[in-house]
Structure 1
Amino acid sequence: MDVHTIEGSVGMSDVEKAHAADLQTQGPHDVSYLKYWVDEAQGKIFCLVDAPDAESAATVHREAHGLVADEIYQVSEGA
């Protein structure tokens, strides 16, 4: 799970475009951006990604749109 903090607010349409760019870029990196959540007022974006490592996930964001996450957490799915 990665977390982006954008100064000020963030628009859902901008996040949708960035996610679409991730989907177009992810294949060669063995990465799968699965889902995202947005807190528009607080400028927070949370991305659920399946990746071999944090650097691969960051590389996709960097190549797709340049908005690299501020934090990346390895998470496990619960019940």
Structure 2
Amino acid sequence: MAEFMDIHHGMKGITAEQLREAHNADLAIEGQENVHFTRAWADPDAGDVFCLSEAPSAEAVQRVHERAGHKADEIHPVPLTI
């Protein structure tokens, strides 16, 4: 399965609790698309949220995010990690 990093912009001021709620919303339905979200980070000052996932495609990642109520602005494949 491929890895993807997605970015959500415009979430300035997001709290740890809001990030946890959004991540949990993804986790609740990720299996419907054979996606697994492994981690999420946020920069509340910049308003950016980053999510790392394993998925069959970027489109599958986006479908989960859309159904969870927070469409990703960017999705990037992660073809190389160490």
User: Structures share a fold, TM > 0.5?
Assistant: yes
> SS where residue 13 of structure 2 aligns?
coil
Match of 1:2 in 2: 6
Tell me the alpha carbon deviations over residues 21-55 of structure 1, each in whole angstroms, 9 at most, x when there is no partner. Answer: 11010012100011011111111100001111111
Q: Partners in 2 of 1:46 and 1:7 — Cα distance? A: 11
Give the count of matched residue pairs: 78
**Percent identical across equivalent pairs?**
37
Counterpart CA distance in 2 for 1:17 and 1:7 is 13
Separation (CA, whole Å) in 1 of partners of 2:12 and 2:35: 29
Structure in which a larger fraction of residues adopt strand: 2
Q: Where in structure 1 are there 5+ consecutive unaligned residues?
A: none
**TM-score normalised to structure 2 length:** 0.87
Q: What corresponds to 1:31 in structure 2?
A: 35
Q: For the residues of structure 2 that align with 1:63 and 1:8, how far apart are their CA atoms? A: 21
The answer to whether structure 1 residue 57 and structure 2 residue 65 are counterparts is: no
User: 1:25–1:60: 8 Å Cα contact kept in structure 2?
Assistant: yes
Question: Secondary structure of the equivalent of 1:26?
Answer: helix
RMSD (Å) for aligned C-alpha atoms: 1.2
Q: Name which of 10, 16, 27 aligns with 1:12.
A: 16
- Stretches of structure 2 that go unaligned for 5 or more consecutive residues are none
SS in 1 for 2:59: helix
Relative to the length of structure 1, the TM-score reads 0.90
